[in-house]
Amino acid sequence: MALGTLDRSLPPFFNQGPSVLSKLVFFGALSVFLMVADARFHITQPIRAALATALYPVQWVALQPVAALRYSREYFSGLNQAQSNSAEASRKLALQSLRAGQVEQLTQENTRLRALLGLRERLAVPVIAAEVLYDAADPYTRKVIIDKGQLQGVDLGSPVLDESGVLGQVTRVHPLVSEVTLLIDHDLAIPVLNVRTGARSVAYGDPAVGGSGMELRFMGSNADVQPGDLLTTSGVDGVYPPGLPVAKVSKIEHRAESTFSKIYCQPQALVTGARHVIVAKPLSGQVPARPEPPAPVAPAKKGASK
């Protein structure tokens, strides 16, 4: 084969196209043109919107693990905060309930103390303020222990009152404390006066009426006694000042087999919840002594006139 017939052109495989420098200049100029055109005329805005819309599902799926991790962290953090807030709220509520109970108790004590002071002003005998410490240990009696005793001037037999009326009587005195037998004790009796009729009688503790009642004994079936009658101290015993509230008649039972009625009374004093009381001096020290009877005259002897 002659040399003139040979094809000296490069095969397509080795054809490299434009040079690298030409490509650099062309694409650099195109980039500058596109940036200027986008800044001036916003020609790429629709393209960006379309790409953003097309890529949004992919972005949403890619962000779900991060969102789930953030939500889990916020959930557990919020749960711990809610539990902490709930515990703090419960603590504050319990504290407020305790304070509310104390305020109510102090209000009741203030009311009772004011009533006691009013009762103290009405009494014409010296009185001593005292506080109930606890109930007596004997389950068969109704007695309480107060914090005043012989050193404070409490005398045996002194009447004890609260803001509502007569509570009981001092039956045992110690140097620092005293024992008070309540009105509802079955061994205690107190002379009373029916305010409506003016009739005198004697009220006794009645343990059969729930352990907190009284009974008006030895009253005939035809006695003028009605439910609601107020019984006050008569003052004839020389212990209780007259006119102090004792009880109210609550129920009357007429018995065919007996000439006496069964009359139930409800004490006016807080026999089961008194805390602050006053101890009055018994009237026995103010009552004048009973005059001595005159000495009998000796009969004249026979024959003394001769």
DSSP calls for 150-204: GGGT--TT-EEEETTEEEEEEEEE-SS-EEEEETTSTT-EEEEEETTT--EEEEE
In a domain, 170, yes or no: yes
For residues 228 and 259, give the distance between their C-alpha atoms in angstroms, rounded to a whole number. 22
Single out the residue of 297, 283, 215 nearest to residue 250, CA to CA. Answer: 215
Q: Is residue 150 part of a domain?
A: yes
Per-residue pLDDT at 169: 92
Q: Cβ distance 262 to 275 under 8 Å?
A: no
- Contact at 8 Å (CB) between 305 and 262? no
Is 132 a member of any domain? yes
Number of folded domains that form the chain: 1
* Predicted local confidence at residue 89, as pLDDT: 79
Predicted local distance difference test score (pLDDT) of residue 212: 75
What's the CA gap between 63 and 209, in Å, rounded? 80
Per the structure, the complete domain to which residue 175 belongs is given by 127-285
Buried b (16+ CB within 10 A) or exposed e, 260-275: ebebbbebbbbbeebb
What pLDDT score does 180 carry? Answer: 92
Which CATH number is 151's domain given? 2.40.10.340
The per-residue pLDDT for 306 is 44
Does any domain span residue 234? yes
| Position 30 in a domain | no
Q: Is residue 138 part of a domain?
A: yes
Q: How far apart are the first and last CA of the chain?
A: 219
pLDDT, position 23: 83
Question: Does 36 reside within a domain?
Answer: no
Residues 236 and 215 sit within 8 Å (Cβ to Cβ): no
The pLDDT profile of the chain, 306 residues, written as one tens digit per residue, is 455 565 556 555 555 567 778 888 888 888 888 788 777 777 777 777 787 788 778 878 887 888 888 888 888 888 888 888 887 777 777 666 666 655 666 676 677 776 766 666 666 678 888 888 888 877 778 889 998 898 888 989 899 988 888 899 999 999 899 999 999 888 888 999 898 888 888 998 876 655 678 888 888 878 888 898 999 988 888 788 888 889 999 888 887 777 788 889 999 888 888 888 889 888 765 555 556 667 666 666 555 544
Given this model, what pLDDT does residue 57 score?
A: 84
Give the pLDDT of residue 17.
65
Question: What pLDDT does 205 receive?
Answer: 87
pLDDT at 179: 92
143 within domain boundaries? yes
Place of tokens 């509230």: 245
